[in-house]
Structure 1
Amino acid sequence: MSLTPHQRLARDVAEEVAHGPEETESGLGRSTPWLQGYAQGVQNGHWPGGCGGHVGCTIGTESDEYSKADQGEADVGADKAIACPAMDSGFRGAEMEAGQRGRVMNLLFRFGETHNLTFALPARGASQLGYPHYFRAEFVEGFGAPGHAPHFDIMCHHLRFLRAQVQRVMPNSTFYFSILRNPVHLMESSFSYYKDTSPFARARSLEEFLSQPERFYRPLEPDSHYAKNLMAFDFGFNHNGAVSAQHSQQMLRHLEQAFDLLLLSEYFDESMVLLKEALCWDLDSVVAFPLNSREGGTRSPLSESTAEKIKSWNSLDWAIYSHVNRTFWQRVEGGLGRERMQREVRALRARRAQLAKACLQGGGSVPPRELRDKSLAPLQYGLATILGYNLKPGLDQATGQLCRRMVTPELQYSRSLYRRQFPEKAQQTYRPTPPPA
């Protein structure tokens, strides 16, 4: 029997709930955040840069996982895929700090563009893959086109994860990773970015909201997830679900089964080192400037009592973060070790400083009013003031291209990729505004 897209989605959600780790009364769903799916469709069946010299580089295949320790270049076919669901807490996203989310998207955009890989882009040039609805394969431009079976290498736009639907788009062999943020910092950021959403609009401050959340929070409102357990929501769980030790353990087991690598926004450089090792990338592939970062004046310091209220209110998110914070350092100790990690982090920071000196006028970010090139201006959203960059004048062509890619905000970069992959559709989607009569 042929199913419509909506019927297939209903079936997939039912199957995920039926076979996932959660129980019905817990209200926990099964899924993950803005899933960056990454399939390595590379020439000659090898990873760009190879895996040489990386001891214990583990690669997932369609049937199992194997270690390419001490074996030189990893021999991975074109059906190899990587999915990197990273949460995002500030800019149209969920768990990850806006600046960190922007950095992860930027390095994936750059890697894919450099290696001529194909992105699973939102249909009709949208900025997200159907968020906050569960992801559906039909949200991807070009999926299901008559007589065409597209191969996608990277999926890195914000979505609410539903594995069965993602698997309809991406190759079977997929490496999943995500990056999380401390829920305390996340909620402070969310209040600033999403102040106009229904849970926060009537609260004069985050402290007022937390003092009487039942006064402001309506769990059935379609935007309620911005104010409670935002990470859990993006991972596909019910953000209003009941909390118990049993349900928390089920949720965490699911995350461990769904992801090959879980990283921490607060330890971004260490996270990028682990990512580099896992994907067998070179150093420059994981170097990125902060993007979508807020100006310091729009950040609010939090008291210890407010922080504790946030943890209690976001108990699902706190359970996820606390668990990942433990497993992250266990992975460091059991893999690279602390000493090598410190050396790798120093090298990463030195390279970023070198590129900042080469690329950036003044060496750092600037507020929107000081931007010279308005095509590089980040979207301003909510109460926050989002910083951007001025490039140094007179850069040679190669340096200028690299520097521009590193500072291009995600919306502009996404549109550029859409124009490259779908030039005819882009002419209709991004038509210039006609001059006034």
Structure 2
Amino acid sequence: MNILFRYGESHNLTFAFPTIKFHYDYPNFFSTLNVSGFSTEKEQNYNIMCHHMRFHLPEVQKIMPSDTFYFTILRNPVTLMESSFAYYRDSSSFIRARNIETFLSNPNRYYQNMSYDSAFAKNLMTFDLGFNHNGPESEEQFKLLCQSVDAMFDLVLIAEYFDESLVLLKDALCWTLDDVLSIPLNTRSDRSRHVLSAQTEEKIKSWNQLDWQLYMYFKNSFWNRVERFGKERMEKEVEELRRRRAQVSEKCLDNQVEPYQLRDKSMVPYQPFAARILGYNLKPGLRREEQQLCHRLVLPELQYSELLWTKHYKTGEVSP
């Protein structure tokens, strides 16, 4: 999201902002009613739509141009669920479980399948992509799910291979490596992390079987795409991307710290129920031209979204 925010801001592109500012009425399906200022009675040209949503392609297509490039990112369901348990600890399905092992020992005891937030505890990616996270589990269903997602998106990135994903994204969009340069954001402190046993990992895969099948299918197709891109070419571009990241980190960043250690309190990331999200202190004495780049690279999602919303509203591009 930070990459898209920075590209859109630097190129004066128009964002399709949510009426709720930070998400499109999530966890409900996306609707055109969720886009601030949108009307079928006037011509509007949106360039980027990137806030949180439960994807619904027919409604998105009413907003975005016909040549829109659609991409998404998947994450290993094992690490995703460990993270979700910390991030959404107060959700209806998790709140009564002492820890993630307790939940997985008898998930049906805790899982509230009819609650509005049930997807936080099961097949979250399947849900976010617009499918039934409580749907049937069979080879036929797995195949239909993967084929449907494949048909909707031009590119599916893989979080565990983030740098390779950025290179593929850059290539698909005809961008530069500087356009996809990023600093890791929304990172939890070590004390918010939970080490999982091999047995627990297997339980997570079984419980999130739709997500697991989706992830394995697109992990395989991802590496097929890397093969077509060229392995040697990929290695060189990833190496260069990492060199530039190290360079900009050295120039911009003083340290990564707990929220209470941030010198600029306006840079504190959103802190969920049971996780501590780290932030960055910038180096003092940055030159004016460096200050904005460094600031934007580590600006938390909610603050950056608010900044862009205000900027567009003041220029009259977005209705209140």
TM-score bracket relative to the smaller structure: over 0.9
What is the aligned partner in structure 1 of residue 176 from structure 2? Answer: 282
Q: Which has the larger radius of gyration?
A: 1
What is the aligned partner in structure 1 of residue 152 from structure 2? Answer: 258
* Inter-partner Cα distance in structure 2 for 1:303 and 1:158: 31
What is the aligned partner in structure 2 of residue 167 from structure 1? Answer: 61
Show structure 2 runs of 5+ residues with no match. Answer: none
* Inter-partner Cα distance in structure 2 for 1:278 and 1:299: 34
* Inter-partner Cα distance in structure 2 for 1:282 and 1:113: 16
* Superposed counterparts of 1:113-132, under 5 Å: 113-123=9-19, 125-132=20-27
Q: How many residues align?
A: 319
Correspondence for 2:312 among 409, 421, 424: 421
Correspondence for 1:393 among 280, 284, 287: 284
* Inter-partner Cα distance in structure 2 for 1:409 and 1:145: 33
* Superposed counterparts of 1:36-435, under 5 Å: 105-123=1-19, 125-144=20-39, 148-335=42-229, 337-362=230-255, 365-423=256-314
**By how many angstroms is 1:130 displaced?**
1.1
Q: Which letter maps to 1:121? A: F
**By how many angstroms is 1:145 displaced?**
7.5
Q: Secondary structure at the match of 2:140?
A: helix
Per chain length, whose mean CA-contact separation is higher, i.e. which structure has more relative contact order (CA < 8 Å, sep 6+)? 2
Q: By percentage of residues, which structure has more helix?
A: 2
**By how many angstroms is 1:278 displaced?**
0.7
Q: Secondary structure at the match of 1:334?
A: helix
CA deviation map 1:123-154 (0-9, x unaligned): 1x5210111000001111110176x3221110
* Inter-partner Cα distance in structure 2 for 1:171 and 1:340: 32
Q: Which letter maps to 1:254? A: S
* Inter-partner Cα distance in structure 2 for 1:381 and 1:424: 33
**By how many angstroms is 1:214 displaced?**
1.1
Show structure 1 runs of 5+ residues with no match. Answer: 1-104, 430-437
State the percentage of identical aligned residues: 53
**By how many angstroms is 1:312 displaced?**
0.3
* Inter-partner Cα distance in structure 1 for 2:37 and 2:313: 9
CA RMSD of aligned residues (A): 1.5
TM-score (structure 2 length as normaliser):
0.97
**4+ runs of 1 displaced by more than 6 Å?**
none
User: Contact 1:143/1:149 (CA < 8 Å) preserved in 2?
Assistant: no
Q: Which letter maps to 1:391? A: L
Q: Which letter maps to 1:324? A: F
* Inter-partner Cα distance in structure 1 for 2:241 and 2:32: 36
User: Contact 2:21/2:305 (CA < 8 Å) preserved in 1?
Assistant: no
